[in-house]
Protein backbone atom coordinates (compact mmCIF):
# COMPACT_ATOMS: atom_id res chain seq x y z
CA UNK A 1 0.00 0.00 0.00
CA UNK A 2 2.25 2.88 -1.15
CA UNK A 3 1.33 6.10 0.64
CA UNK A 4 1.53 9.60 -0.80
CA UNK A 5 1.07 13.07 0.69
CA UNK A 6 0.26 15.82 -1.79
CA UNK A 7 0.73 19.24 -0.16
CA UNK A 8 -1.22 21.99 -1.93
CA UNK A 9 -3.83 19.68 -3.48
CA UNK A 10 -6.90 21.91 -3.83
CA UNK A 11 -6.69 22.46 -7.60
CA UNK A 12 -4.43 22.48 -10.65
CA UNK A 13 -1.45 20.17 -10.67
CA UNK A 14 -1.87 19.16 -7.00
CA UNK A 15 -5.41 17.97 -7.65
CA UNK A 16 -4.09 16.16 -10.74
CA UNK A 17 -1.64 14.26 -8.52
CA UNK A 18 -4.43 13.18 -6.18
CA UNK A 19 -6.70 12.06 -9.04
CA UNK A 20 -3.97 10.13 -10.81
CA UNK A 21 -2.51 8.43 -7.74
CA UNK A 22 -5.95 7.55 -6.30
CA UNK A 23 -6.88 5.82 -9.57
CA UNK A 24 -4.65 2.94 -8.42
CA UNK A 25 -6.62 1.32 -5.56
CA UNK A 26 -3.46 0.01 -3.84
CA UNK A 27 -2.27 3.58 -3.28
CA UNK A 28 -3.28 5.68 -0.28
CA UNK A 29 -3.32 9.44 -0.93
CA UNK A 30 -3.42 12.19 1.64
CA UNK A 31 -4.48 15.48 0.04
CA UNK A 32 -3.46 18.56 2.03
CA UNK A 33 -5.31 21.79 1.29
CA UNK A 34 -5.55 25.01 3.25
CA UNK A 35 -9.29 25.26 2.54
CA UNK A 36 -10.57 21.75 1.74
CA UNK A 37 -14.23 22.76 2.02
CA UNK A 38 -13.81 25.24 -0.82
CA UNK A 39 -11.93 22.83 -3.07
CA UNK A 40 -14.65 21.47 -5.36
CA UNK A 41 -12.43 19.11 -7.37
CA UNK A 42 -10.99 17.64 -4.20
CA UNK A 43 -14.38 17.17 -2.59
CA UNK A 44 -15.44 15.18 -5.64
CA UNK A 45 -12.81 12.61 -4.59
CA UNK A 46 -13.84 12.56 -0.93
CA UNK A 47 -15.85 9.35 -1.29
CA UNK A 48 -12.92 7.30 -2.57
CA UNK A 49 -11.71 4.88 0.11
CA UNK A 50 -8.03 5.54 -0.65
CA UNK A 51 -8.27 9.37 -0.47
CA UNK A 52 -7.92 11.27 2.80
CA UNK A 53 -8.44 15.03 2.74
CA UNK A 54 -6.66 17.05 5.41
CA UNK A 55 -6.56 20.75 6.20
CA UNK A 56 -3.02 22.14 6.19
CA UNK A 57 -1.27 25.30 5.13
CA UNK A 58 2.31 24.77 3.97
CA UNK A 59 3.41 27.93 5.79
CA UNK A 60 1.86 26.88 9.11
CA UNK A 61 3.91 24.33 11.11
CA UNK A 62 1.07 23.65 13.56
CA UNK A 63 -1.35 22.61 10.82
CA UNK A 64 1.40 20.55 9.14
CA UNK A 65 2.14 18.68 12.37
CA UNK A 66 -1.57 17.95 12.83
CA UNK A 67 -1.68 16.61 9.26
CA UNK A 68 1.43 14.48 9.85
CA UNK A 69 -0.16 13.04 13.01
CA UNK A 70 -3.35 12.24 11.06
CA UNK A 71 -1.34 10.51 8.31
CA UNK A 72 0.66 8.53 10.89
CA UNK A 73 -2.58 7.35 12.53
CA UNK A 74 -3.68 5.80 9.22
CA UNK A 75 -0.35 4.40 8.02
CA UNK A 76 1.14 3.26 11.31
CA UNK A 77 3.67 6.11 11.34
CA UNK A 78 5.01 5.69 7.79
CA UNK A 79 4.97 7.62 4.51
CA UNK A 80 6.48 6.61 1.16
CA UNK A 81 6.28 9.75 -1.00
CA UNK A 82 5.82 13.46 -0.22
CA UNK A 83 4.95 15.88 -3.03
CA UNK A 84 5.55 19.56 -2.19
CA UNK A 85 3.28 21.05 -4.83
CA UNK A 86 1.75 24.23 -3.41
CA UNK A 87 3.16 27.47 -4.73
CA UNK A 88 2.27 31.04 -5.66
CA UNK A 89 3.35 33.13 -8.64
CA UNK A 90 3.67 36.56 -7.03
CA UNK A 91 4.03 39.58 -9.30
CA UNK A 92 4.46 37.90 -12.68
CA UNK A 93 4.76 41.03 -14.80
CA UNK A 94 7.22 43.11 -12.81
CA UNK A 95 11.00 43.25 -13.08
CA UNK A 96 13.32 43.65 -10.08
CA UNK A 97 13.42 47.44 -10.49
CA UNK A 98 9.91 48.43 -11.55
CA UNK A 99 7.69 47.64 -8.57
CA UNK A 100 5.34 50.46 -7.55
CA UNK A 101 7.44 50.98 -4.40
CA UNK A 102 10.19 49.31 -2.38
CA UNK A 103 7.47 48.17 0.03
CA UNK A 104 5.58 46.48 -2.80
CA UNK A 105 8.75 44.61 -3.76
CA UNK A 106 9.44 43.60 -0.16
CA UNK A 107 5.90 42.31 0.33
CA UNK A 108 5.93 40.33 -2.90
CA UNK A 109 9.30 38.70 -2.21
CA UNK A 110 8.42 37.87 1.40
CA UNK A 111 5.07 36.27 0.59
CA UNK A 112 6.41 34.25 -2.34
CA UNK A 113 9.46 33.12 -0.33
CA UNK A 114 7.22 32.12 2.60
CA UNK A 115 5.14 29.82 0.40
CA UNK A 116 7.54 28.53 -2.23
CA UNK A 117 10.67 28.08 -0.12
CA UNK A 118 9.79 28.01 3.58
CA UNK A 119 6.54 26.18 2.78
CA UNK A 120 8.45 23.34 1.17
CA UNK A 121 10.96 23.16 4.03
CA UNK A 122 8.31 23.23 6.76
CA UNK A 123 6.26 20.57 4.95
CA UNK A 124 9.28 18.34 4.41
CA UNK A 125 10.35 18.67 8.04
CA UNK A 126 6.86 17.80 9.29
CA UNK A 127 6.81 14.55 7.27
CA UNK A 128 10.48 13.51 7.57
CA UNK A 129 9.90 11.28 10.62
CA UNK A 130 7.23 9.37 8.66
CA UNK A 131 9.31 9.26 5.47
CA UNK A 132 12.25 7.79 7.39
CA UNK A 133 10.04 4.83 8.30
CA UNK A 134 8.60 4.53 4.78
CA UNK A 135 9.91 2.21 2.10
CA UNK A 136 10.41 4.63 -0.81
CA UNK A 137 11.71 7.73 1.02
CA UNK A 138 11.00 10.05 -1.91
CA UNK A 139 10.33 13.80 -1.80
CA UNK A 140 9.22 15.53 -5.00
CA UNK A 141 9.22 19.32 -4.89
CA UNK A 142 7.54 21.14 -7.76
CA UNK A 143 10.03 23.68 -9.05
CA UNK A 144 10.04 25.54 -12.35
CA UNK A 145 12.33 26.02 -15.32
CA UNK A 146 11.93 29.72 -14.44
CA UNK A 147 14.36 28.96 -11.62
CA UNK A 148 17.03 27.60 -13.96
CA UNK A 149 19.65 30.33 -14.33
CA UNK A 150 21.13 28.95 -17.56
CA UNK A 151 17.76 28.84 -19.34
CA UNK A 152 16.72 32.30 -18.13
CA UNK A 153 19.96 33.83 -19.42
CA UNK A 154 19.52 32.00 -22.71
CA UNK A 155 15.93 33.11 -23.35
CA UNK A 156 16.30 36.57 -21.77
CA UNK A 157 13.32 36.42 -19.38
CA UNK A 158 13.29 39.38 -16.96
CA UNK A 159 9.77 39.03 -15.48
CA UNK A 160 8.44 37.05 -12.46
CA UNK A 161 11.42 38.03 -10.28
CA UNK A 162 10.17 36.74 -6.93
CA UNK A 163 8.87 33.50 -8.44
CA UNK A 164 12.10 32.83 -10.36
CA UNK A 165 14.32 33.58 -7.35
CA UNK A 166 12.30 31.29 -5.09
CA UNK A 167 12.15 28.48 -7.64
CA UNK A 168 15.93 28.78 -8.00
CA UNK A 169 16.26 28.59 -4.21
CA UNK A 170 14.19 25.41 -4.17
CA UNK A 171 16.96 23.61 -6.00
CA UNK A 172 19.39 24.39 -3.17
CA UNK A 173 16.81 23.28 -0.61
CA UNK A 174 16.67 19.90 -2.38
CA UNK A 175 20.47 19.74 -2.46
CA UNK A 176 20.75 20.46 1.27
CA UNK A 177 18.28 17.67 2.12
CA UNK A 178 20.02 15.32 -0.34
CA UNK A 179 23.36 15.90 1.37
CA UNK A 180 21.98 15.48 4.87
CA UNK A 181 20.06 12.27 4.06
CA UNK A 182 22.56 10.79 1.60
CA UNK A 183 23.14 7.65 3.65
CA UNK A 184 19.50 6.95 4.52
CA UNK A 185 18.18 5.91 1.11
CA UNK A 186 16.30 9.15 0.43
CA UNK A 187 15.64 10.67 -3.00
CA UNK A 188 14.93 14.42 -3.01
CA UNK A 189 13.99 15.59 -6.48
CA UNK A 190 13.06 19.11 -7.64
CA UNK A 191 11.01 18.88 -10.81
CA UNK A 192 9.48 21.33 -13.29
CA UNK A 193 6.04 20.15 -14.42
CA UNK A 194 6.41 21.88 -17.80
CA UNK A 195 3.88 24.53 -18.84
CA UNK A 196 0.49 23.32 -17.57
CA UNK A 197 -3.06 24.66 -18.03
CA UNK A 198 -3.89 25.83 -14.49
CA UNK A 199 -5.00 29.02 -12.74
CA UNK A 200 -1.34 29.96 -12.42
CA UNK A 201 -0.93 29.93 -16.19
CA UNK A 202 -4.01 32.09 -16.83
CA UNK A 203 -3.19 34.99 -19.20
CA UNK A 204 -3.30 38.53 -17.72
CA UNK A 205 -6.15 40.95 -18.48
CA UNK A 206 -4.26 44.25 -18.22
CA UNK A 207 -3.17 45.35 -21.75
CA UNK A 208 0.38 46.25 -20.61
CA UNK A 209 0.73 42.88 -18.85
CA UNK A 210 -0.58 41.15 -21.96
CA UNK A 211 2.32 42.70 -23.93
CA UNK A 212 4.76 41.37 -21.33
CA UNK A 213 3.10 37.96 -21.41
CA UNK A 214 3.51 37.88 -25.21
CA UNK A 215 7.19 38.74 -24.76
CA UNK A 216 7.55 35.88 -22.27
CA UNK A 217 5.90 33.33 -24.56
CA UNK A 218 8.14 34.48 -27.42
CA UNK A 219 11.15 33.98 -25.17
CA UNK A 220 9.98 30.45 -24.30
CA UNK A 221 9.83 29.66 -28.02
CA UNK A 222 13.63 30.06 -28.15
CA UNK A 223 14.09 26.78 -26.31
CA UNK A 224 10.77 25.00 -26.96
CA UNK A 225 10.96 22.09 -29.41
CA UNK A 226 9.75 22.81 -32.96
CA UNK A 227 5.98 22.31 -33.23
CA UNK A 228 5.44 22.72 -29.46
CA UNK A 229 1.65 23.01 -28.94
CA UNK A 230 1.54 25.02 -25.70
CA UNK A 231 0.62 24.11 -22.11
CA UNK A 232 -0.55 20.57 -21.35
CA UNK A 233 -3.35 19.31 -19.11
CA UNK A 234 -2.42 18.66 -15.45
CA UNK A 235 -2.97 14.91 -15.81
CA UNK A 236 -0.37 14.65 -18.59
CA UNK A 237 2.23 16.55 -16.59
CA UNK A 238 1.50 14.52 -13.45
CA UNK A 239 1.82 11.22 -15.33
CA UNK A 240 5.20 12.29 -16.72
CA UNK A 241 6.51 13.57 -13.38
CA UNK A 242 5.51 10.36 -11.57
CA UNK A 243 7.19 8.34 -14.29
CA UNK A 244 10.39 10.33 -13.71
CA UNK A 245 10.04 9.82 -9.96
CA UNK A 246 9.52 6.08 -10.36
CA UNK A 247 12.77 5.85 -12.33
CA UNK A 248 14.87 7.85 -9.88
CA UNK A 249 17.05 6.33 -7.20
CA UNK A 250 18.96 7.80 -4.26
CA UNK A 251 21.83 8.37 -6.74
CA UNK A 252 19.63 11.11 -8.29
CA UNK A 253 18.97 12.84 -4.97
CA UNK A 254 19.40 16.63 -5.17
CA UNK A 255 18.77 16.87 -8.92
CA UNK A 256 16.59 19.52 -10.58
CA UNK A 257 14.96 18.08 -13.68
CA UNK A 258 12.02 18.56 -16.03
CA UNK A 259 8.92 16.40 -16.43
CA UNK A 260 11.02 14.56 -19.01
CA UNK A 261 13.72 13.78 -16.47
CA UNK A 262 16.39 16.04 -17.94
CA UNK A 263 17.59 19.53 -17.09
CA UNK A 264 16.88 22.33 -19.58
CA UNK A 265 14.25 20.39 -21.50
CA UNK A 266 11.38 22.33 -19.87
CA UNK A 267 8.81 22.17 -22.69
CA UNK A 268 6.88 19.59 -24.68
N1 LIG B 1 1.16 25.69 -14.25
C2 LIG B 1 2.39 25.76 -14.71
O3 LIG B 1 2.60 25.97 -15.92
C4 LIG B 1 3.57 25.56 -13.79
C5 LIG B 1 4.85 25.59 -14.35
C6 LIG B 1 5.95 25.41 -13.52
C7 LIG B 1 5.77 25.17 -12.17
N8 LIG B 1 4.50 25.15 -11.63
C9 LIG B 1 4.38 24.87 -10.19
O10 LIG B 1 3.42 23.86 -9.99
C11 LIG B 1 2.87 23.97 -8.68
C12 LIG B 1 1.34 23.92 -8.78
O13 LIG B 1 0.91 25.06 -9.50
P14 LIG B 1 -0.40 25.09 -10.40
O15 LIG B 1 0.01 25.41 -11.77
O16 LIG B 1 -1.25 23.92 -10.15
O17 LIG B 1 -1.06 26.43 -9.82
P18 LIG B 1 -2.47 26.75 -9.16
O19 LIG B 1 -3.57 26.17 -9.97
O20 LIG B 1 -2.43 28.21 -8.91
O21 LIG B 1 -2.44 25.94 -7.77
C22 LIG B 1 -1.58 26.32 -6.74
C23 LIG B 1 -1.84 25.38 -5.58
O24 LIG B 1 -0.95 25.72 -4.51
C25 LIG B 1 -1.74 25.79 -3.33
N26 LIG B 1 -1.12 26.63 -2.32
C27 LIG B 1 -0.64 27.88 -2.45
N28 LIG B 1 -0.18 28.31 -1.27
C29 LIG B 1 -0.36 27.30 -0.38
C30 LIG B 1 -0.11 27.13 1.00
N31 LIG B 1 0.45 28.10 1.74
N32 LIG B 1 -0.43 25.96 1.58
C33 LIG B 1 -1.02 24.97 0.87
N34 LIG B 1 -1.29 25.07 -0.44
C35 LIG B 1 -0.98 26.22 -1.04
C36 LIG B 1 -3.07 26.36 -3.81
O37 LIG B 1 -4.06 26.23 -2.82
P38 LIG B 1 -5.28 27.28 -2.65
O39 LIG B 1 -6.40 26.75 -3.53
O40 LIG B 1 -5.60 27.23 -1.21
O41 LIG B 1 -4.80 28.61 -3.10
C42 LIG B 1 -3.26 25.48 -5.03
O43 LIG B 1 -3.71 24.21 -4.68
C44 LIG B 1 3.39 25.29 -8.11
O45 LIG B 1 4.48 25.02 -7.24
C46 LIG B 1 3.87 26.03 -9.34
O47 LIG B 1 4.88 26.97 -9.06
C48 LIG B 1 3.41 25.35 -12.42
H, E, C per residue of the chain? CCEEEEECCCCHHHHHHHHHHHCCCCCEEEEEECCHHHCHHHHCCCCCCCEEEEECCCCCHHHHHHHHHHHHHHHCCCCCEEEECCCCCCCCCCCCCCCCCHHHHHHHHHHHHHHHHHHHHHHHHHHHHHHHHCCCCEEEEECCHHHCHHHHHHHCCCCCHHHHHHHHHHHHHHHHHHHHCHHHCCEEEEEECCCECCHHHCCCCCHHHHHHHHHHHHHHCCCCCCCCCCCECHHHHHHHHHHHHHCCCHHHCCCEEECCCCCCCCCC
**Number of folded domains that form the chain:** 1
254 CA distance to ligand 1 middle (Å): 22
**263 belongs to a structural domain:** no
In a domain, 265, yes or no: no
Note if 4 is an active site residue. no
Residue 59 included in any domain: yes
Q: CATH number, domain at 35?
A: 3.40.50.720
Q: Which atom of ligand 1 is nearest to the CA of 39?
A: 39
Q: Residue 178 domain-assigned?
A: yes
253 is an active site residue? no
Ligand 1, residues 193, 224, 268: which to mutate, most atoms within 8 A of Cβ? 193
> Has residue 267 been placed in a domain?
no
Written as tens digits, the pLDDT of the chain (268 aa) is 899 999 999 999 999 999 999 999 999 999 999 999 999 999 999 999 999 999 999 999 999 999 999 999 999 999 999 999 999 999 999 999 999 999 999 999 999 999 999 999 999 999 999 999 999 999 999 999 999 999 999 999 999 999 999 999 999 999 999 999 999 999 999 999 999 999 999 999 999 999 999 999 999 989 999 989 899 999 999 999 999 999 999 999 999 999 999 999 999 7
Residue 213 included in any domain: yes
Q: Which residues span the domain enclosing 47? A: 3-258
Tell which one of 6, 7, 13 to mutate to probe ligand 1, the residue whose CB is within 8 A of the most ligand atoms: 13
Amino acid sequence: MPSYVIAGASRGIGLGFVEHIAATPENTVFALARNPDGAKGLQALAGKPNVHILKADMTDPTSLQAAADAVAAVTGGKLDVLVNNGGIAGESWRTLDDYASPQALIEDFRSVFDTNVLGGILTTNAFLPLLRKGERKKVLSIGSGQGDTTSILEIGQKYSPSYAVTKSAMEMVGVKYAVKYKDEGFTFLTICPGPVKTDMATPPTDPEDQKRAKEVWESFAKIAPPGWKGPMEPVESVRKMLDVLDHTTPADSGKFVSHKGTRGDWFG
